[in-house]
Amino acid sequence: MGSQLIISKAACDTRAALVEDGRLVEFFLERRGEEDPTGNIYKGRVIKVLPGIAAAFVDIGLERPAYLYVDEISDTWDDFYSLWLKSETPDGMPAVREQGQPGIEDLLSPGQEVVVQVHRPPRGGKGARLTTHITLAGHYLVYTPTTSQVGVSRRLTEEGERERLKGILTELKPERGGFIARTASLSQDQDTLAREREQLVARWQKIVRKSETSRAPALLHQEPEFAVRLVRDLFGPDMDLVAVDDPDTCREIEEYLAGFHPWLRARVECYTGAESIFSRYGLEVEWRRLLAPQVWLKSGGYLVIDTTEALTAIDVNTGRFTGKSNLEETILQTNLEAAREAARQIRLRNLGGLIIIDFIDMAKAAHRQVVHEELLAALKRDRAKTMVLPISPLGLVEMTRQRLRDSLVQLATEACPCCQGQGAVLSPLVVAHDLLRQLSAEAREFPGCRFTLQLHPEVAATLREEGRELLPRLTADFQVEIRLLEEPSFPRGHYNLTRDWRGLKGR
């Protein structure tokens, strides 16, 4: 079974799901007004250079300044200068340190203009991350005008096809720049690739001309609309269907694919059914499960996924699975299934950065090796780059995954207003005890006062029970009145205490 791309576009957002072999493997979400600038090319102006972190802040016209690290400057700094930087040194070259590698302050200075591409979108309070390693993506090829090498997608594994494509790219390579063959280039002839080569080189020349006449900050090149971009990046020989529920978007995708082969239009379905397109393809419930921390395995085991600011931890448990033979075999089978599902969840949820997988402890080194190989095989279909270390004797796998975009949790959720993102709230007992302490202090400081306490019903019930002796004593000793008003809309940890002197004797 091939793959399917299901796209649902509404006035508020666009959602897309990639299905492989009948299972959801990637989910995409873009809201209106929050378009992802990744891939856009800008002419920016350097605002500030920070040698301490080897980076510079660049104004490219977005809400927040973007940042450019020194290692994201073109492979050779002389090429970088010859492309678009005006040197201020007499010989036209930047100052070079004794070790031969210029620092960020040698390459950039405030006020300088530079052509950059968004490498990673703004996240949280951070601006976009930039690069000068420009890439222009087509359907079959990626043009790299600042790098002269040729390459082939790592997802194309057949050695003969890789060598054939490398030979074609070597012939097509212009005087400046190089090419990478994408997965969709599989089995494509040289004429097809040559046509796209001309389009990409012409696009780059247009960008260079625009940069020469534009004042920074300026947008030089904008990536296609979200749905078309998905088709460009994901549509390949193994894709059977692209289903879209928006007529205009459907037409754009048909025209895009017809530009390569007219018969590809037959693979586009303009969905007009009464039920939602996600419900029609059985995806409405499935994508919401991606926000749950627990993922059940078919065997009865389960994963627990917990993302923190530093890393994501995936814990493997046997759950209800008891196996059919011995304990070691049960553990091995659970871990093998968990390795496949962990790779799927990492891709689905778009987890990036450091990831720790805690497999069930395996005594045999051979079993650890088998599980490690299963994990590597499951990650091969992931477009993001990953680095996976062997399983430790404690059953831990350390791995990293390239951040292609914000994770689904970042896109679809926000910190809980009750627990402030901690994932837990104080129990009614602890809150009630805190309030009893505060009421005691208030009664001593303001004798004869009426206190009105608004609080959650669960906390109020606990407070009455825990204060059945203290509250009457405070009333008798300090002539205070304590009123509890239950507010079901209040979070359990929230309350409102007010003081009122009116109507009390002696005040």
- Report CA dihedral (260, 235, 193, 176) to the nearest 10 degrees: 120
**Given this model, what pLDDT does residue 93 score?**
42
Q: Domain 42-221 falls in which CATH fold? A: OB fold (Dihydrolipoamide Acetyltransferase, E2P) (2.40.50)
Give CA torsion, residues 72, 75, 80, 81, to 10 deg: 120
**Mean pLDDT (the chain, rounded):** 86
Residues in CB range of 7: below 8 A, 6 or more apart:
14, 15, 16, 227, 230, 242, 243, 244, 245, 246, 249, 277
- The pLDDT of 373-396, averaged and rounded, is 91
Distance, CA of 117 to CA of 160 (rounded, Å) = 34
* pLDDT of the residue at 78: 46
Q: What is the mean pLDDT of residues 68-93?
A: 55
pLDDT at 30: 86
pLDDT of 87:
37
- The whole-number pLDDT of residue 236 equals 80
pLDDT tens-digit readout, 31-52: 887 788 999 999 999 999 999 9
Mean pLDDT of 460-486: 93
User: For residue 470, what pLDDT band results from cuts at 50, 70 and 90?
Assistant: very high
Residues 60-77 pLDDT 10s: 999 899 999 988 886 544
Mean pLDDT of 357-365: 91
> CA dihedral in degrees (118, 124, 127, 132; nearest 10)?
-30
pLDDT tens-digit series, residues 256-313: 888 887 788 889 999 998 888 998 988 887 877 887 889 999 888 899 999 887 899 9
The pLDDT value given to residue 227 = 92
Q: Is the pLDDT of residue 97 over 70?
A: no
Residue boundaries of the structural domains of the chain: 3-35+225-285, 42-221, 292-412, 428-500
Cα 162 versus chain centre, distance: 30
Strands 312-317, 302-307: pairing kind: antiparallel
Q: How many residues does the chain have?
A: 507
Instruction: With both helix axes pointing from N to C terminus, report the angle between 327-348 and 365-379 in degrees, rounded to the nearest 10.
Output: 20
pTM to 2 decimals?
0.76
Q: What pLDDT score does 101 carry?
A: 66
Task: Kindly indicate the confidence band of residue 391, based on its pLDDT and cuts at 50, 70 and 90.
Answer: very high
What proportion of the chain, given as a percentage, has pLDDT over 90? 53
Give the pLDDT score at 200: 94
pLDDT of residue 419: 72
pLDDT surpasses 70 at 58: yes
Res. 90: pLDDT tops 80: no
CATH assignment of 428-500, among 3.20.20.140, 3.20.20.70, 3.40.1350.10, 3.40.1260.20: 3.40.1260.20
Helix (H) / strand (E) element for 498: namely strand 495-500
pLDDT tens readout for residues 137-195: 999 999 999 888 899 988 888 899 999 999 999 999 888 899 999 988 988 899 999 99
pLDDT of 480 higher than 60: yes
Q: What is the pLDDT of residues 304-360, one digit of tens each?
A: 999 887 899 999 988 765 655 678 888 899 999 999 999 999 999 889 899 999 999
- pLDDT class of 478 with cuts at 50, 70, 90: very high
Q: Which amino acid is at 357?
A: I
Model confidence over 181-238: pLDDT tens digits? 998 898 889 999 999 999 999 999 999 999 999 998 999 999 999 999 999 988 887 8
End-to-end CA distance of the chain: give it in Å, rounded: 83
Distance of CA 414 to the CA centre of its chain: 14
Whether the per-residue pLDDT at 506 is higher than 50: the answer is: no
Contact 355, 308 (CB under 8 A): no
pLDDT number for residue 76: 45
Q: Could you please state the CATH topology (level 3) that the domain comprising 3-35+225-285 is classified under.
A: Nucleotidyltransferase; domain 5 (3.30.420)
